[in-house]
Structure 1
Amino acid sequence: MRVSEPLVQIILLNWNGWRDTVECVESCQKLSYPNFRIVVVDNGSTDGSEEILRKRFPTVELIQTGANLGFAGGNNAGIRHALSSGAEYVWLLNNDTVVAPDALTELVRVAESDPRAGMVGSKIVYHDDTGLLWFAGAVLDPEQPHRPYHQGLRQRDAGQNDRVAETGYVTGCSLLARKEMMAEVGLLDDGLFLYFEDVDWSARAVCVGWKLLYAPASVVRHKESVSSGGAASPRLVYYTARNRLYFVRRNFPAKLWAALCYDLFEHVLVNLKKGRLACARAGLRGILDFLRGKAGPLPEP
């Protein structure tokens, strides 16, 4: 660790979710790390979030984007602000999380242990069942890059993933990024809007020699429902099907045909077989929009 700890700016993206954001900010205010600032980026909320958050946290900086720029665009607005304000690291943190007091200390400790650590991710557990893992590192197989997955997902945490290690990607749910890495790699891809933007960013960093590390002593609780199992919605299916193809074409172009076949099977045929017609149509639309070169937010019908 340096004599003086590097400045970290924590970026919390809010979109019509002020209740979760309040709990997340309150947990961040209890962090033991001595040199951080919290920046809330409001993505054009329509539920009164900006007024509520400004009143609740008058000393926390809030940036208003004026529109829903998606996960990528909203976080990029926060990252640009953080870097222009002297941040040496930025911590992207989902607003529907609660962090342990030493979560940031452990992320920085691992990042500072290796100057080529471009991104560091936390151990993420379920908010309502903290003994159940959501993210404990990740696998990105170059032979099947269209099928990245979280290690440990919905497994009982018995210490099986408690070593600092390189990881296939870092989830944007809790992602510490080094300023030098961002200067070389650039920021998240605004065109992806939602989903696969963190996997894509990770792959781009690895391509130019940066390491991605997993810091198991940094623990974050995430409010994803255990019972949902990642239940699909047409919106999720659209972005996943489309952005998977953009991600593979950019980073693993030789595997694009395999990714396209996977999308057709997983998002169109499987949904048709299960009678989920809206999801099947969304998957097909995502594939077609990729082929048409459409990016950004989901186009209106």
Structure 2
Amino acid sequence: MTQPKVAIVYLSFHCEPYIDDVVSALKKMTYPKDRVELVVVDNPHPQLGSSVRYLEENIMSMSGNELPHITLLPQKENLGFSGGNNVGIQWALDNGFEYVYFHNNDGFVAANFLEPLIEAMEKDKTVGAVQSLLMLYPETNLLNSSGNSFHYLGLGFCNNLRVKKDDLKMEKVYETSYASGAAVLMRADLLRQYGLWDNDFFLYHEDIEYCFRLKIAGYKIMVASDSLFY
């Protein structure tokens, strides 16, 4: 399998309760760390303020050794989910990365999370986005989302919420209506071609809109069931 360059965009929003689990998981990642950049975008909390000092004191010393190289991008105001992720996307595009993985603030990855996603993308150039299988925590045998569907009224919902993973027969890669922005790999060239996330969606529904954008352009939205995010 080829080893393209991946930017992991971690959107920090009062990340102190979660960052230890995030770091512990990324230390164990099996994808070559020298092919990955951890792009930490910090959105300051309106009451609790910025997490930048905490991040500088607790994770930056691991940059490029225990962890992939880290780029920290502090923001002066809370740009929301779309706006904050767009800062990370733009950095990745400006620095020549081939893929962007969106990593939710309060979750963590399995060690081999990247390989199934990249394999799905590299095998089929009509795939526009691939979601990790979202698992609950600490009930790690239960699904949070095996992909997503949308109601005709415009609301999105998670497929197979709280269903036991072992009770389902899932293909390694399968199509879904839209991918969750919590844990999804996207192609940098498509983000460049079709634009960044819509800032009008401050929080929620930005993933539905972007997947519609990709589908209208003829691309498939997939889930890789061997890529786990908790």
Same fold (TM over 0.5): yes
Any residues of structure 2 matched to 1:140-179 within 5 Å, and which?
A: 140=150, 144=152, 146-163=154-171, 164-179=173-188
Greater relative CO, 1 or 2 (CA 8 Å, sep 6+): 2
Which residue of 1 is the match for residue 212 of structure 2?
A: 203
Q: How many Å apart are 1:159 and its aligned residue?
A: 4.8
Ranges of 4+ aligned residues in structure 1 off by more than 4 Å:
none
SS at match of 2:92: helix
Cα distance in 2, alignment partners of residues 159 and 210 from structure 1: 30
Cα distance in 2, alignment partners of residues 93 and 159 from structure 1: 27
SS at match of 1:115: coil
Letter in 2 for 1:166: E
| 1:63 aligns to 2:63 (yes or no) | no
SS at match of 1:200: helix
Given that residues 9 and 36 in structure 1 are in contact (C-alpha distance below 8 angstroms), is that contact kept between their aligned partners in structure 2? yes
- Say which of 118, 125, 137 aligns to 2:147: 137
Larger helix share, 1 or 2 = 1
Cα distance in 2, alignment partners of residues 33 and 159 from structure 1: 29
**Taking structure 1 as reference, are residues 85 and 29 closer, same or farther at Cα in structure 2, changes over 3 Å only?**
farther
Q: How many Å apart are 1:111 and its aligned residue?
A: 1.4
Letter in 2 for 1:83: L
Q: Deviations over 1:46-80 (max 9, x none)?
A: 44511111111222221011110000000000110
Select the structure of larger CA radius of gyration.
Answer: 1
| 1:212 aligns to 2:210 (yes or no) | no
Q: Deviations over 1:203-241 (max 9, x none)?
A: 1110111111110000111xxxxxxxxxxxxxxxxxxxx
Structure 2: segments with no counterpart, 5+ residues: 64-69
Which residue of 2 is the match for residue 293 of structure 1?
A: none
Which residue of 2 is the match for residue 39 of structure 1?
A: 39
Which residue of 2 is the match for residue 120 of structure 1?
A: 130
| 1:94 aligns to 2:104 (yes or no) | yes
**Taking structure 1 as reference, are residues 19 and 147 closer, same or farther at Cα in structure 2, changes over 3 Å only?**
closer
**Taking structure 1 as reference, are residues 134 and 161 closer, same or farther at Cα in structure 2, changes over 3 Å only?**
farther
| 1:82 aligns to 2:84 (yes or no) | no
Which residue of 1 is the match for residue 13 of structure 2?
A: 15
Which residue of 1 is the match for residue 67 of structure 2?
A: none
Cα distance in 1, alignment partners of residues 153 and 227 from structure 2: 27
Measured on the aligned residues, the alpha-carbon RMSD in Å equals 1.5
Cα distance in 2, alignment partners of residues 140 and 104 from structure 1: 26
Q: How many Å apart are 1:162 and its aligned residue?
A: 2.2
Letter in 2 for 1:42: D
Cα distance in 2, alignment partners of residues 71 and 202 from structure 1: 16
Letter in 1 for 2:57: K
SS at match of 1:98: coil
Q: What's the % identity of the aligned pairs? A: 33
Any residues of structure 2 matched to 1:146-295 within 5 Å, and which?
A: 146-163=154-171, 164-221=173-230
Given that residues 41 and 64 in structure 1 are in contact (C-alpha distance below 8 angstroms), is that contact kept between their aligned partners in structure 2? yes
Cα distance in 2, alignment partners of residues 207 and 67 from structure 1: 33
SS at match of 1:182: helix
Which residue of 1 is the match for residue 51 of structure 2?
A: 49
